[in-house]
Structure 1
Amino acid sequence: MRPRSPGLLLLLLWGLQAESQEEVRAMVGSDVRLRCIYPEGNSFDLNDLYVYWQISVAGKGNADSVVTYHLSGNSSAGYGDNHYKDRAQLSLDSMKRGDFSLHLRNVTPQDEQRFNCLVFRKSLELEKILEVAVTLHVAANYSMPVVSGPSQDEELTFTCTSTNGYPRPNVYWINKTDNSVLDGALQNSTVSLNARGLYDVVSVLRIRRTPRVNVGCCIENVLLHQNLTSGQTETLTGAKESITEDPVDGSHGGEHQPVLSVLVVLAVIVALALATGWLCRSRCPPRSYTGAQLARPELALAEHV
């Protein structure tokens, strides 16, 4: 019997239902193993096997794309979709033991697919002996969000940025005083795919002016059960200058001398002042300027803005 071409055999595979299913997670850039193992642990002759790994092509109805395959009579596996060339591998030694798992290198966001493993035996008139569906979920960590601002106008504007994450995130702004979530209507978030197929986030928060603002930006990666939060605390206060006078403190030494002694001392001082032109500077403390005094900050916002 001549080996059938991959395209002809695919015509026979359409419409088949998976006998078992599982889900796998992998980080972008990592390697992953998609399991497809014959349950009874038999040994197999590679010349008697047709092994296919394939995915459904979005937007093409029932059309499937071959990731990699092994045909009866071949000494190696071939590739169907160029996206998986040199990245998708089958182990010939493992297949002899009934392990038809796919080894996928350098995972990309485009690999988030449902992969189907199909195994047929030539000696059984291409009877299907194994079918496994594996759904691959792909994830990438977002960068720690960076919050800038605020710009101060009629309202306060904060901007949060985070890059190179997957899948698409949830974006929240929170009041860090009580960790409550701010009204989504106050934010405008833009999530876009970059050249690597990963998501970048820019979120702008606009809130009314308050004396003290303590807000945080939260990027949630649902697949990784991960929340990345960074924040910004801003105190908006007016400056108030105050000039104080040092009061004459009655606790200085010599202030409790008898009145006569005081008069005598004063008379001596006046006499010296007339002689030297210096008048009472050592006993008259000048006014002292204490500088700008910050107004007492009000409590941080504790309710939704």
Structure 2
Amino acid sequence: MEAPPPVILDFLLKLSRMYVLYCCFLSWYFLLSVNYAVRLEITPSHVIAGRNVTVNCEFEQSYDSSNDDIMWEFHKNTKRLIVWRSIPGTNMLRDQNEHFHGRTEVKFTSEKAVLTLRSINLSDSGEYRCIIFIRRGRNSEYLTSNFSYLSVAAPYSIPVVTGLNKTEEISLHCISYGGYPEGQLMWHYRNGSILTESVSTQHISNGMGAFVINSTLSLRIQQSDDICCSVSHTDLLQSWTTCQALTACHGNYPHCILFDMFISIVSGLAFLIILLFITIIIITIRMFQGSTQIKAKQLENST
């Protein structure tokens, strides 16, 4: 069997060398990707406004704070804000957005950097990521983590119910404010029976990210009962309820008749007292005038 021509052997040798170099390159790239892997985690990812969260930036290679640079970014809609970034080798911050001034603290370990974001508010809802700039001599790496979403919720205030109950026709208003996201409002009797007739409910933004829920109930009551307004927050699994006692005064209900009799008696007594008071004033004035005239005549006769 004849040996392959030298040209073919040379080609096969070059091809094998290229294959080895390609495998080495893939292995090198894979090792670098593993060593420089960056992962971001927010704890907790759902938080109530006013509390603190931690934004962990984890990496497998040791972080050198004297040379390397780390940064946390905040993304929401079209906004991109720098949450925290320091100048390598110092504790000085650079480029931090004023929205996060005084609310950040960072601690470093060999495997992660932990950012604590204090006093979370509704405008902090959005996506976060960390970016690491690895500097090793003349070489540098630009590494980014995944995006993690922070959801911020706010509780609603206890509902305030107002309205008049002069006749069987009533109109009640219920308002609750300060919550996020949109809550659910429901009118019902104390026994749980839901009222859906003539209900108008609005969710109005207060301009600071939270909502005001305003609802009106119009109802013709048939009997005395407690009508309640409840606001529920599905994310927080919380609800707030306020009830108002209503008295049905129509028809021949005994309590309504007694109430009307009481009002009539009180009104009659008040009228008699006022009339008596006016009569006493008139009599007093006339008596004073008569005594004045008698004294004047006596003075004339003495002179």
Are the counterparts in 2 of residues 35 and 134 from structure 1 also a CA contact under 8 Å? no
Asked whether 1:90 is paired with 2:106, we answer yes
* Residue 116 of structure 2, aligned match among 99, 103, 108: 103
| Paired position in structure 1 for 2:67 | 48
The alpha-carbon deviation at position 213 of structure 1 amounts to: 4.0
Change (3 A) 1:37 1:20: closer
Aligned residue pairs: how many? 219
* Residue 64 of structure 1, aligned match among 68, 80, 89: 80
Distance 2:62 2:141 in 1: 17
TM-score by length of 2: 0.61
Distance 1:151 1:235 in 2: 7
More RCO (CA 8 Å, sep 6+)? 1
| Paired position in structure 1 for 2:35 | none
TM-score by length of 1: 0.61
Distance 2:128 2:259 in 1: 65
Letter in 2 for 1:138: V
Which residues of structure 2 form unaligned runs of 5+? 1-37, 261-303
The alpha-carbon deviation at position 153 of structure 1 amounts to: 6.0
Structure 1 segment 19-38 matched on structure 2, within 5 A: 24-38=45-59
Distance 1:238 1:182 in 2: 21
Structure 1 segment 216-227 matched on structure 2, within 5 A: 216-227=228-239
Distance 2:219 2:149 in 1: 42
Are the counterparts in 2 of residues 49 and 70 from structure 1 also a CA contact under 8 Å? no
| Paired position in structure 2 for 1:189 | 201
Structure 1 segment 1-305 matched on structure 2, within 5 A: 24-38=45-59, 40=60, 43-58=62-77, 60=78, 64-91=80-107, 94=108, 96-123=109-136, 125-128=140-143, 131-152=145-166, 155-177=169-191, 179-183=192-196, 186-194=198-206, 197-238=209-250, 293=258
Which is richer in helix? 2
The alpha-carbon deviation at position 207 of structure 1 amounts to: 2.0
Give per-residue Cα distances to partners, 1:202-253, cap 9 Å, x unaligned. Answer: 21111233223432111111221111112223120348699xxxxxxxxxxx
State the identity as a percent: 22
What is the root-mean-square deviation of aligned Cα atoms in Å?
Answer: 3.2
Distance 2:71 2:106 in 1: 10
Letter in 2 for 1:171: L
Give per-residue Cα distances to partners, 1:260-281, cap 9 Å, x unaligned. Answer: xxxxxxxxxxxxxxxxxxxxxx
The alpha-carbon deviation at position 57 of structure 1 amounts to: 4.1
